[in-house]
Structures are given as structure tokens and as C-alpha cells.
């Protein structure tokens, strides 16, 4: 489904963008912020389509300039990812490097090949190293003709303040449970019970919810919780084996660590406000397990996992970090 109608539960950003299109007041630089999986990239693509839609449906002129038709040549090229003037920049490894931004600057010094408005979409803009950020800043200070830059990032705090100040920011909220659960049931065929469980764990992210569904996440969550409940009684070899198992699944490791933290958080919250726990289908188990550890111990375990996440993000050895984490969790 082309255009903004495919964007779930993001009325405010879509309304602002359509107003820009209707009034002809499109900023030269936009910053889309929010967690992964809430529609930032899809909205950037839809906006690029709307900026360039020829509206040639049945040889008639498009009546709504803010809604791409999805059928004309520019729309089809953009949706397929092969339009020469829709440029996407993504991290090379963990970072967006200065050479990538310099190459982009050289490209933008030339006129667009065929687009009415050339659109540059910089994904994971928070991955720009300082040199790349400063190089981009020069481009934002002297924006190329007929070019719109869209930066997609998690938080404004992850970017240079000078870069943020030169962009029109649009904040994308987490998708509400109501919309996310309905999308999982109607479009992706999940049964209502599993959709509800996954929705509570997905943090408002559709892509995370779908990843959980594809990887049989409910079963994995139950395994992770069972492992955590028995850490204190495990031998050193068993603990190291658990750390090794976590390290072998790099693609789902971030979600695994988040589930482990959410379980510990539930054990804290469950002692004071049971209706606020994330894993509602395990409410009885949470009530029983929460009595076995003090709040201080639970918070220390959460800090241990967070410190491990930070260390992994900084590039430390993955298996060693996870093994050390498991050993600390068993002692706490």
C-alpha cells in the first residue's frame, strides 16, 4: 500500500508532512526521531514519493498533491528502491563514516537526474562519527538545490546539536498497543493471544514484534526466564554455557537482553503495582518470583545487563561480555 495511509498510528508526523506538501513549505532538512520499527523509514519513503509523484493515473492529473498515487513511474521506482535521485545512506559497519558523507556531497553537487525533488534518507544518523557529522553540517548550512535531506535517528541527543538545530524535527511515538495488536492479527495472521503477548514485549515497534513472531519469541522468552530463575543454582560450566548460547544468536541478542531486563523490571514492579507488569500472561509467576529477591538485588541485576549492553555497543568481545554478565547475575 503506497503513501501515508500505510503508516500506522503516526497521525501527527503525517499531518505535518502533508501540510508542508500542501503549502509548498518543505524544509530542506528533516529529522525523524523515535525507536526502530515505528514507521520512520516508511514515512521517509512515502514522503519522497509524494514529493515526486507524477499522478498519471488513467491520464488524469492527481487531485491530492499530498498523497502519492503509487502507480506512476516515479512512485514505482522509489517504492522499488531504484530511483536515481532517492539516495539512501546507511552505516558501513557500526558507523557512518566521513568518506560516505564526502561522497554524498560530491553527488549532491550535481543536478538531480530526473526528480522534481531529490531526497536523501540517512538511516541510523546517530551512527555518524564526529567527522561525518561535521561534514554533514556544512551541507546543511548550504543546502543543495532541489534536495531534501531526511535524517532518521533514535534521539536528538545522539546527534551534534548544530545538526539538530538545522533540521525540522518530527517525533515518531511508539505504536499504541491497540494498533499494533490489530496489525499483527489482521495483516500478519497471529492469533489474538500471541499477538497480545508479543505486543506487550515489542515496546511499540512493529518490526520488533514481527521479528519476535518469526523467531518464536514467546518460547524463547520462556526459556530465558527459566534460565534466569535457575542461575543461582548453576555450576560455572552451566553459566558459561548460557552466556555462550546468548552470544551465538547475534541477530536476536538485543531483544534477548531487553526481555531479560523486562523480566527483572516486572519482579520489581510486581511488588508494588502488579497491573503495570509487561509480561501480564505470567502475572502469577511474577508474584511468586518477586518475593525471592530484594529490590536492591533486582536493580543491581538490571544495571548489570545495562552495563553489558553498553559494553557490547562499544565493541567489546561479545562472548566474554555475556559470560561475565551471566556470572555476575548468578552472584547478585
Q: Do 220 and 209 share a structural domain? A: no
Q: Do 113 and 25 share a structural domain? A: yes
Pairwise CA distance, residues 291 & 151, whole Å: 46
Give the pTM.
0.81
Counted domains in the chain: 3
Strand order in the sheet with 29-33: 86-89, 118-122, 147-153, 29-33, 168-171
71-82 average pLDDT score: 93
| Residues 75 and 49 sit within 8 Å (Cβ to Cβ) | yes
Q: Do 198 and 135 share a structural domain? A: no
Q: What does the pLDDT look like over 201-219, one tens digit per residue?
A: 888 999 999 988 998 889 9
38-49 average pLDDT score: 96
pLDDT at 56: 53
Q: What is the CATH number of the domain that holds 282?
A: 1.20.272
Q: What does the pLDDT look like over 135-147, one tens digit per residue?
A: 999 899 988 889 9
Q: Do 13 and 59 share a structural domain? A: yes
Q: Do 104 and 119 share a structural domain? A: yes
Domain boundary residue, one of 214, 232, 267: 214
Q: Do 221 and 204 share a structural domain? A: no
154-159 average pLDDT score: 92
pLDDT at 278: 87
Q: Do 163 and 18 share a structural domain? A: yes
Q: Which of 201 and 77 is assigned the larger pLDDT?
A: 77
Q: Do 157 and 118 share a structural domain? A: yes
Q: Do 302 and 239 share a structural domain? A: yes
Domain boundary residue, one of 171, 190, 205: 171
Pairwise CA distance, residues 299 & 308, whole Å: 14
Does residue 62 surpass a pLDDT of 80?
no
What string of DSSP letters covers 57-68? BTTB--S-TTS-
Q: Give percent of the chain with pLDDT exceeding 70.
A: 96
SS3 129: coil
Q: Would you place residue 238 in the very low, low, confident or very high pLDDT band (cuts 50, 70, 90)?
A: very high
Domain range for 181: 175-214
Detail the DSSP E strand segments found in 155-244: 168-171
The secondary element (H helix, E strand) that includes residue 120 is: strand 118-122
Q: Do 210 and 150 share a structural domain? A: no
Domain boundary residue, one of 147, 171, 195: 171
Does residue 292 surpass a pLDDT of 80?
yes
Does residue 58 surpass a pLDDT of 70?
no
pLDDT at 14: 95
Amino acid at each position: 500500500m503506497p503513501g501515508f495511509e500505510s503508516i500506522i498510528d503516526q497521525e501527527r508526523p503525517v499531518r505535518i508532512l502533508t501540510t508542508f506538501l500542501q503549502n509548498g513549505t518543505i524544509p530542506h532538512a528533516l529529522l525523524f526521531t523515535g525507536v526502530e520499527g515505528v514507521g520512520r523509514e516508511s514515512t521517509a519513503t512515502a514522503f519522497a514519493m509524494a514529493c515526486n509523484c507524477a499522478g498519471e493515473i488513467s491520464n488524469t492529473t492527481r487531485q491530492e498533491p499530498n498523497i502519492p498515487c503509487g502507480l506512476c513511474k516515479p512512485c514505482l521506482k522509489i517504492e522499488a528502491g531504484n530511483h536515481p535521485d532517492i539516495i539512501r545512506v546507511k552505516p558501513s559497519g557500526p558507523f557512518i563514516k566521513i568518506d560516505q558523507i564526502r561522497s554524498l556531497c560530491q553527488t549532491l553537487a550535481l543536478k538531480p537526474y530526473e526528480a522534481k525533488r531529490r531526497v536523501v534518507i540517512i538511516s541510523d544518523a546517530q551512527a555518524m562519527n564526529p567527522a561525518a557529522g561535521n561534514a554533514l553540517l556544512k551541507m546543511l548550512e548550504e543546502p543543495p538545490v532541489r534536495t531534501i535531506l531526511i535524517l532518521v535517528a533514535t534521539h536528538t541527543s545522539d546527534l551534534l546539536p548544530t545538526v539538530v538545530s538545522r533540521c525540522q524535527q518530527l517525533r515518531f511515538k511508539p505504536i499504541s498497543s491497540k494498533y499494533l495488536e490489530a496489525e499483527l492479527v489482521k495483516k500478519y495472521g497471529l492469533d489474538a493471544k500471541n499477538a497480545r503477548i508479543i505486543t506487550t514485549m515489542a515496546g511499540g515497534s512493529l518490526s520488533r514484534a514481527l521479528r519476535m513472531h518469526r523467531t518464536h519469541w514467546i518460547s524463547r522468552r520462556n526459556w530465558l526466564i527459566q534460565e534466569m530463575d535457575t542461575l543461582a543454582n548453576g555450576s560455572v560450566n552451566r553459566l558459561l554455557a548460557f552466556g555462550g548460547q546468548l552470544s551465538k544468536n547475534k541477530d536476536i541478542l538485543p531483544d534477548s537482553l531487553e526481555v531479560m531486563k523486562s523480566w527483572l523490571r516486572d519482579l520489581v514492579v510486581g511488588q508494588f503495582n502488579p497491573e503495570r507488569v509487561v509480561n501480564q500472561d505470567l502475572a502469577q509467576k511474577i508474584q511468586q518470583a518477586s518475593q525471592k529477591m530484594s529490590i536492591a538485588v533486582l536493580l543491581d541485576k538490571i544495571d548489570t545487563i545495562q552495563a553489558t549492553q553498553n559494553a557490547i555497543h562499544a565493541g567489546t568481545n561479545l562472548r566474554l561480555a555475556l559470560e561475565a554478565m551471566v556470572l555476575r547475575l548468578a552472584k547478585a
